[in-house]
């Protein structure tokens, strides 16, 4: 089976915790030794298993921040 190498460079915060203990987190993650990208994803408590998620560039994350600050939640 193919292997994905990853390294969490920076943990920025937790969005939520599921009943089974997994956390939805915003991290700065390097995938396969490439430049790190911002990443929203679910992780098990040991950060060994991961769920599906998305990666975002710094520009996309800044745009997202501006959107969130301009709408009523």
Which of 29, 34, 40, 48 is in the footprint of a second copy by CB under 8 A?
A: 40
Shortest distance, CB of residue 31 to a second copy, whole angstroms? 15
| Phi, psi (degrees; rounded to nearest 5) at 72 | -90, 120
Residue 13 binds a second copy, judged by CB under 8 A: yes
Q: Which is closer to a second copy, CB of 47 or CB of 56?
A: 56
Shortest distance, CB of residue 1 to a second copy, whole angstroms? 20
CA 37 to centroid of chain Cα atoms: 9
Q: CA–CA separation, 17 vs 23, rounded Å?
A: 4
């Amino acid at each position: 089976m193919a292997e994905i190498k990853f390294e969490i460079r920076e943990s920025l915060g937790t969005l939520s915790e599921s009943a089974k203990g997994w956390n939805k987190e915003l991290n700065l993650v390097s995938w396969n030794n490439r430049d790190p990208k911002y990443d929203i994803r679910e992780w098990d408590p040991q950060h060994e298993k991961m769920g599906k998620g998305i990666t975002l560039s710094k520009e996309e994350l800044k745009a997202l921040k501006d959107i969130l600050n301009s709408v009523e939640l």
